[in-house]
Amino acid sequence: MMEVEGIYTEVFECSERKEGSGGADSLMVSSTLSLAPLVDSSPSVRRSQPILITSNRMKGSDSYSSSVPSIPNPFPELCSLAKSPLLISSLPPESSQKHLIKVYGEDNHCKSVWVSRRATAREVCHLLVHQAHCSDQESWALFEHHPTLALERCLEDHEVVLEVQATWSLKGDTRLTFCKNYAKYEFFRNPTLFFPESMISDSADVSKGMTSSELIQNLLRSGTCPEIQGFLHIKEPSRKAWKKIYFFLRRSGLYSSTKGSSKEPRHLQCVADLDNLNVYTVVNSRKLYGAPTDFSFCIKPSRNPSRVQDLKILCAENEQTRTCWTSAFRLFKHGKQLQSNYQLSKSTPRSLEGSPLTDLKAESSLVAMDFSGKAGGRVIQNPTEAQTVELEEGQAWRKREALRGSLPAVNSAARLSSIHKTQPWFHGGVSRKEAERLIEKQGLVDGMFLIRGSQQHEQCFVLSLCYQLKTKHYLVIPVSSHASVSP
């Protein structure tokens, strides 16, 4: 130990001589050479450096610390992550390769969900349906929404959610929205409405005695679509002007004709390749893009960040024309996969047990209970007894309703005047345009309706109903039961 201290003393003296004299280099070299034999572990050292010395006390520190008894934790419930009520919501599931995504609802409230790396849009929808206890799970869908660009599209059931998010810009405001979409596969159920005969290209082979409706149905069963043709308005790049051009949509891509409606190869110009783009619906296109109508849609590259320069915004004359083009885009791009998704959506919904999303435990939301005893309630486990109790409670409910019906007419009228406000189909005093937007958002399917208060006639209502891709409005006038109505 004393020899080592001598080494450090020699090094310190050499450094002092270096500062005080001009021949410091020679003194430093000679001092280094004289100290080199004393350092066996580092013979190649060319200048004096401190050497790490391990003390004997450090070697015995393990035994010293192990002899001291450990102090017990007085609050294990606060330090255990598995039992902590504060941290459990922010932790991923125990299974590996889980990712956190944010999904917005129709009320703009955000919900965070842990999903697997290969989770599809259909699996995420089923998970959200089970967590929110929604009904009609096959009618819910995930939407990709670009608020700044006013673009939205429904994710296909087979699309991987994390792969879709990987194409978004980190600085953008793109998000996922969870809402209903009844028209996702409506063109399989009513193909002639979505693909009118006037828009089917003449290149379709109908010379074999096959009608256009039969041709469309056969093509849809095989996972393809007839070629579509027609006029569309297109926004010119870097300008606010719109130009009307004749387009052709084929399996190989979207083409425009440079000479009227000619489809000769020398007059066709390729506009977009279907493999590398997605089709979006444009919201409020008249205000944002100066479109001639409200029936606009957009095609943009699927891998590039969303920029206005990369958008090709097209505008149709009516909703049926726009729906025909967007449906044909989907069919040409995804082919038989859409047919498989449609068949899967028609099947009976199965339990998500064993799903790659997460391990969902079976939970019963309703349990038959008996509170007739004095000791408190008990769970009725016998199915026959539970069914008997259900029938008895149903009869008791009918008696109570009949008793309420025998009350004076004034109270009954006051009660009946507000009962419609609790129904999901009543939307208060929304405007005509807002009602059309709400129906369009959930899918233009025959029979979709809502009731709203009339803005022009007091104490009257309006029935907004979708029929053949159009929203119709009917005035509903309440009639008193005591009034005489002439036929």
Tell me the per-residue pLDDT of 204-239, one tens digit each, with 9 for 90 and over: 454 455 666 777 777 777 767 788 999 999 988 777
pLDDT at 380: 78
Regarding whether 190 and 158 lie in a shared domain, the answer is no
Indicate if the pLDDT at residue 318 is higher than 50: yes
Which of 78-92, 152-166, 335-349, 429-443 is least confident?
78-92
Which of 33-42, 48-57, 437-446 is least confident?
33-42
What does the pLDDT average to over 343-349? 75
pLDDT at 249: 92
Indicate if the pLDDT at residue 12 is higher than 70: no
Which of 142-156, 267-281, 405-419 is least confident?
405-419
Enclosing H/E stretch for 314: strand 312-315
Residue 173 lies in a domain: yes
Regarding whether 270 and 326 lie in a shared domain, the answer is yes
pLDDT at 373: 64
- The residue ranking higher by pLDDT, 168 or 202, is 168
CB of 48 within 8 A of CB of 32?
Answer: yes
Cα 400 from Cα 392, distance rounded (Å): 13
What does the pLDDT average to over 359-374? 55
Which band of pLDDT confidence, cut at 50, 70 and 90, is reported for residue 359? very low
Regarding whether 199 and 173 lie in a shared domain, the answer is no
Regarding whether 333 and 189 lie in a shared domain, the answer is yes
What does the pLDDT average to over 97-126? 90
pTM: 0.62
Residue 358 lies in a domain: no
Regarding whether 195 and 340 lie in a shared domain, the answer is yes
pLDDT at 378: 75
Indicate if the pLDDT at residue 151 is higher than 50: yes
Residue 58 lies in a domain: no
What does the pLDDT average to over 304-330? 85
Residue 13 lies in a domain: no
User: Residue 431 belongs to what domain range?
Assistant: 425-476
Burial of 444 by CB count in 10 Å (0-12 exposed, 13-18 middle, 19+ buried)?
A: buried
**Residue 259, domain CATH:** 2.30.29.30
pLDDT at 376: 62
- The residue ranking higher by pLDDT, 171 or 356, is 171
Regarding whether 196 and 111 lie in a shared domain, the answer is no
Regarding whether 297 and 197 lie in a shared domain, the answer is yes
Regarding whether 196 and 157 lie in a shared domain, the answer is no
Residue 60 lies in a domain: no
Last residue of some domain: 345, 376, 393? 345
- The residue ranking higher by pLDDT, 16 or 434, is 434
**Residue 429, domain CATH:** 3.30.505.10
Give 277's contacts (C-beta < 8 A, 6+ positions apart).
Answer: 299, 300, 301, 302
Indicate if the pLDDT at residue 438 is higher than 90: no
CB of 452 within 8 A of CB of 430?
Answer: yes
Max CA separation in the chain (angstroms)? 127
What are the tens digits of pLDDT across the range 118-131? 999 999 999 998 88
Tokens (6 digits) for 190 = 């009513």
Average per-residue pLDDT for the chain:
73
pLDDT at 48: 53
Which of 207-216, 275-284, 337-346 is least confident?
207-216
Regarding whether 198 and 103 lie in a shared domain, the answer is no
CB of 221 within 8 A of CB of 213?
Answer: no
In the chain, the percentage of residues whose pLDDT exceeds 90 is: 23
Q: How many domains are there within the chain? A: 3
Residue 107 lies in a domain: yes
In the chain, the percentage of residues whose pLDDT exceeds 70 is: 64
Regarding whether 199 and 167 lie in a shared domain, the answer is no
Regarding whether 155 and 190 lie in a shared domain, the answer is no
Indicate if the pLDDT at residue 109 is higher than 70: yes
What are the tens digits of pLDDT across the range 292-301? 999 999 998 8
What are the tens digits of pLDDT across the range 167-199? 898 888 899 999 988 888 888 888 888 888 888
Residue 357 lies in a domain: no
CB of 282 within 8 A of CB of 276?
Answer: no
**Residue 151, domain CATH:** 3.10.20.90
Residue 89 lies in a domain: no
pLDDT at 300: 87
Regarding whether 239 and 153 lie in a shared domain, the answer is no
C-alpha pair distances (Å), 296 with each of 36, 289, 299, 445, 446: 84, 10, 10, 19, 22
